[in-house]
Amino acid sequence: MIRINENYLKLQSSYLFAHIAKRVEAFQAQHPDREIIRMGIGDVTRALPAACIDALHKATDELAQDSSFRGYGPEQGYAFLREKIAQHDFQDRGASIAADEIFVSDGAKCDTGNIQEIFATDIRVAVPDPVYPVYVDTNVMAGRTGTFQDGRYEGLVYLDCTEANGYVPALPQEPVDLIYLCFPNNPTGATITHAQLGQWVRYAHEHKALILYDAAYEAFIRDESLPRTIYEIDGARNVAIEFRSFSKTAGFTGTRCAFTVVPKSCKAHTADGQVITVYDLWNRRHTTKFNSVSYPVQRAAEAVYSPEGQAQVRELTDYYLNNAAFIRQAFTDLGYPCVGGDNSPYIWINGRRDSWAFFDLLLEKAGVVCTPGAGFGTCGQGYIRLSAFNSFANVQKAMNLIQTALT
């Protein structure tokens, strides 16, 4: 008799963004003439940078000739891309990361979801609250939790991120083994300082823990005093894995390209205390289950690091940050406290009412889709998240409609 992985039955009925899409679809079906402005899921709307498009075309042409055709590439990604990443994103910032410690992939969502597979099922896992739901759901699927009670899964250690702590969680009171951190944060848009991140790195050393550091929104950091990578912190190479993505940096949400950094100095343990190199496990998993990203897409990602690519990506991220500043100002003027939006494309707004009620109000009265904070965890109740990944014209229109709806 075929049986299921019953851990799946503990999950909420659908993935947050799929659930929102369904609700919006139902609303649109009832109101076919209403214009809807989507500021919920963080999906980019502007064209790929010209440097990436040129590289895509060129690489596609190479595939049209036997002499330059490519079949399977290295599972970890082509050296031309891994070397650029290592140089520009890490070594130029004083972070000692080698090209062969980089694993090119098809998304930070997949990597942050898959990485937990290489760790034991009975470890103690700490997640922020509010949190990107992928970290939680994948640990539920793997059987690391009990049931969902009062908005939280039994067995997980939740790290509260609130106005009071500036959305940077305090170190856990109890020992944990695996820690998820995300900065600039999704969903709150909050950032972390070197000193704060240093505390987490020290904690991980003291407790033989490992940090999973999601830096998918790093390209939006404008405050030069903030860390761009966890590897700017002394000792992080031994206790942290970092996730990055071209999705939000260069508009690759549909094109798909990301990477994960697994330093060879990161160690984990067997039940009987044997020390294992995490890199070897991830490499084993990656080579078994993944064939990397297509050649033209890796060439397009490489083009991000050319001088033109760097300028175009800067222009793209500046554009979205300008939207973010506009949204933040509009809500501040309406008297709603906000964070994020300065070093992040997300604005976290204290709606002072139930998150889903605010979601419904904005959809029905203004035709604007947000993400209810409660969907990211109990600490998100009362908040909504707006994404700045839209055209400036739509953002202006949405803020006007919201102003009318709320006043």
Q: Can you give the binding site for ligand MLT, defined by CB under 6 A?
A: 41-43, 109, 132, 186
Closer residue to ligand MLT in complex, CB, 239/258 = 258
Query: Smaller CB distance to ligand MLT: residue 295 or 376?
Result: 376
Residue tagged 């702590």 (tokens): 165
> Tokens representing 148?
């969902």
For the bound state, the minimum distance from the C-beta of residue 373 to ligand MLT, rounded and expressed in Å, comes to 12
Q: Which residue number, 55 or 327, has a Cβ lying nearer to ligand MLT?
A: 327
- Minimum gap (Å) between residue 115 Cβ and ligand MLT: 15
CA 29 to chain centroid: 31
Any idea of the CA torsion for 72, 76, 77, 78, to the nearest 10 degrees? -80
Nearer to ligand MLT, 145 or 186 (CB): 186
Name the minimum Å distance from CB 114 to ligand MLT. Answer: 13
Cβ 109 to ligand MLT, closest distance in Å? 4
- Nearest approach in angstroms of CB 319 to ligand MLT is 17
**Shortest approach of ligand MLT to residue 132 CB, angstroms?**
6
- Best CA proximity match to 151, nearest among 374, 385, 348: 374
Instruction: Tell me the pairing of strands 346-350 and 383-387.
Output: antiparallel
What single-letter DSSP state applies at residue 154? T
Eight-state DSSP code of residue 213:
E
CA distance 69 to 62: 6
Pick between residue 279 and residue 358 the one whose CB is nearest to ligand MLT: 358
DSSP E strands: which ranges in 109-253?
A: 125-129, 148-149, 152-153, 157-160, 178-182, 210-214, 240-245
Retrieve residue 317's tokens: 């991220």
Residue nearer to ligand MLT on the CB measure, 104 or 369: 369
Cis, bond preceding 187 (omega within 30 deg of 0):
yes
Give the other-Cβ count within 10 Å of 337's Cβ.
Answer: 13
- Minimum CB separation from ligand MLT for residue 345, in Å? 9
In the complex, what is the shortest distance from the CB of residue 16 to ligand MLT, in angstroms, rounded to a whole number?
8
**Position with the least CB separation from ligand MLT:** 42
What's at 249, amino acid-wise? T
CB of 11 to ligand MLT, least distance (A): 17
* Sequence letter at residue 157: V
Choose between 17 and 123: whose C-beta lies nearer to ligand MLT.
17
Q: Cα 339 to the chain's mean position, in Å?
A: 17
* Pair 115, 282: CB distance under 8 Å: yes
Smallest gap from residue 242 Cβ to ligand MLT (A) = 16
Helix, strand, coil percentages in the chain from 3-state DSSP, rounded to 5: 45, 15, 40
Neighbours of 287 (CB within 10 A): 14
Nearer to ligand MLT, 187 or 198 (CB): 187
87: how many CB neighbours lie within 10 A of its CB? 13
Residue 130, preceding peptide bond in cis (omega within 30° of 0): yes
Q: Given the complex with ligand MLT, which of 86 and 139 has the nearer CB atom?
A: 139
Q: In the numeric block, which tokens belong to residue 112?
A: 């942050």
User: Cβ closer to ligand MLT: 12 or 283?
Assistant: 12
Q: Which of 339, 357, 358 is nearest to 349 (CA)?
A: 339
